[in-house]
Amino acid sequence: MSSKSNAMGLFSRFLTIWIFLAIAMGIALGSWMPKVFQEIGSIELAHINLAVAILVLVMILPMLLKIDFTSLHEVWQQRRGIAVTLGVNWLFKPFFMALLGYIFIYHVFISFLDAKMLDGYFAGLVILAAAPCTAMVFVWSKLTQGDAQFTLSQVALNDVVMVFAFAPIVALLLGFASVTIPWDTLLLSVLIYILAPVLVAYLWRKHLLKRGAFDIVLKRVDPLSMAALLLTVVLLFAFQGQQILRQPLVIAILAVPIVIQVYVTFGLAYLLNRRLGVQHNVAAPSALIGASNFFELAVATAIALFGFESGAALATVVGVLVEVPVMLTLVFIVNQSKIWYEKDIT
C-alpha cells in the first residue's frame, strides 16, 4: 500500500476530528475577518452561495463518476428502500418536527427566548424539516459505501415530490393559506446539484472508460471530495461566526429539536428498511436522505416569508450548522452497525 493510500486512510479514520477542527476554524475566521466572509457569503444566485455550490459539486462528482448510468433502471428493484425514504420524508418528518417545535419553543425553552421571536423560530424549524436533502447526501452515502445509483435516483425523485408537496405541507403546518415556493432556488439547485454534475459525470466517465484511464483518474479525484467537505464546513461556520458568538444560547436551544428530529427520523427509516429486508448499501442512503435537509431551499423560503433578520431565518441557519457534525455521527452509526443490520437479513 502506498504512503498516499495510508495518508488517506488515516484522514478518513479521523474525519470527525478534522470536521470539528474545521468548525472551530470557521467560527474563528468568521469572527476575525467578518467583512471578508460577508463578501464571500454575499456572492449568491437565488440564495445559493456560489462558493459553497462549487465545493459541493467537487464533493459529489467522484461519487457520480462511479455510477453505471446504463443500469439505472435496475433501481426499481430497491422500491422498498424508496418507499421508506418517501414515507419518512413526507408523511413523518415535517409533522414530527412541528410537534418538537411546539414542545421545545413554546414550553420547554420559552423562558429563555424572546416572546416576539417564538413563532418565527417554530416556522423555521418546520420549513427546514419539510425540505429533504438534495446534495450533501451524496457525501454521506459515499462514506457508508451506499449504492450510488439508488442515492441518485432517490434524490431526483425527492426533488420531483418536493415541487408538489413542499408548499402544501409548510402551509398546512404553519396555518397559511398558501406558501410561495422560491422557484428560482429550487430549480437552480436541481440544475447545479443534479442535472449538471450528472451530465458531466456521464460524459467524463464515458470518455475515461474509452481511454482506459477510469481507475487512475478516479483515485486522483476521490480525495478531493473530503477536502471540499472540510472547506465547505469552514465556510458555513465562517459565514455565521459572529452570529454563533453573539447568541450561542438561542442557537443551542434551536439545535435541540433539530438534532432530536434527525436522530429519530434516521432511526425510524433505518429500522424500517431492516424490517423490510432492504440491503444495507441501500438502507444507509435511504435513512440518511430521510434525516438530512435541503438547507438552501429552507433558508430561501424562510427569508422570503419572514425576512432576513427573522427567527425563521435563524432557525434554518442553525439547521445548516448542525447538519454536518450530526450527519457524521449517523455515518458512524451506520458503519458500526452493519454487521448487526445484515444479521438475519436475507
Look up cell 403546518; give the residue.
Answer: 173
> Cα angle vertex 53, ends 48, 194, to 5°?
95
The DSSP element (H or E) to which 45 belongs, if any, is strand 44-45
Burial call 114-138: b when 16+ CB within 10 Å, e when fewer: eeebbbbbbbbbbbbbbbbbbbbbb
What distance in Å separates the CA atoms of residue 13 and residue 217, rounded to the nearest whole number? 23
Looking at residue 121, what is its pLDDT?
95
The pLDDT, as a whole number, for residue 286 is 94
What is the number of other CB atoms lying within 10 angstroms of the CB of residue 249?
Answer: 10
Give me the tens of pLDDT residue by residue for the chain, a chain 346 residues long: 444 544 455 556 677 788 889 999 999 999 999 999 999 989 988 878 899 889 988 888 888 888 887 776 776 788 899 999 999 999 999 999 999 999 999 999 999 999 999 999 999 999 999 988 777 888 899 999 999 889 988 888 888 888 889 999 999 999 876 777 788 888 888 888 888 888 999 999 999 999 999 999 988 888 888 888 889 889 989 988 888 888 999 999 999 999 999 999 999 999 999 999 999 999 999 999 888 888 778 888 888 888 877 899 899 999 988 988 999 999 999 999 999 999 866 5
CATH architecture of 3-342: Up-down Bundle (1.20)
Q: What is the pLDDT of residue 87?
A: 94
Report the C-alpha gap between 41 and 184 in whole angstroms.
18
Predicted confidence at residue 207, as pLDDT, reads: 95
Is residue 132 classed as helix, strand or coil in its secondary structure?
A: strand
User: What cell does 237 get?
Assistant: 461556520
pLDDT of residue 169: 93
> CA nearest 57: which of 288, 224, 282, 219?
224
Domain positions in the chain are 3-342
Burial group, residue 102, by CB count within 10 angstroms (0-12, 13-18, 19+): middle
Distance separating alpha carbons of residues 126 and 340, to the nearest angstrom: 33
pLDDT at 309: 76
pTM listed for this prediction? 0.87
Bridge partners (DSSP) of residue 49 are: 44
Q: Looking at residue 63, what is its pLDDT?
A: 83
- Unique residue bearing C-alpha cell 444560547: 249
